[in-house]
Amino acid sequence: LITTSRNIIVCAESRRDMEEWINALKMAANKEYYEQGQTSHTEMMSGQHNWYACSHARPTYCNVCREALSGVTSHGLSCE
């Protein structure tokens, strides 16, 4: 849950789960790749995949008036 003051509240069933969430968030903030059980970043990039950077047209809405914001996209990877 992200609050209006941009705080993140994370709930988990156990301390271990909570620590995994915190570590994943820290790695994401440092722009490091994280996936539980993944041994290396190159495993995801290997195989028949041809990855490229793109913008996904996911609608984004204003938190105040709930109107759709034009031109706001989500950046990520896609496979050809």
Amino acid at 66: R
Cα 14 to chain centroid distance, Å, stands at: 22
The number of domains in the chain is 1
Q: Does a structural domain hold residue 10?
A: no
Residue-level pLDDT, tens digit, the chain, 80 residues: 555 666 766 677 888 888 887 887 787 777 765 455 554 555 555 566 677 777 766 667 777 887 777 766 666 667 76
**Domain span including residue 73:** 15-79
Q: Does a structural domain hold residue 21?
A: yes
Q: Does a structural domain hold residue 8?
A: no
Kindly report the pTM of this predicted structure: 0.33
Given a contact cutoff of 8 angstroms between Cβ atoms, the answer to whether 77 and 52 are in contact is yes
Q: Which two tokens stand for residue 27?
A: 């790695």
Q: Does a structural domain hold residue 34?
A: yes
Q: Does a structural domain hold residue 66?
A: yes
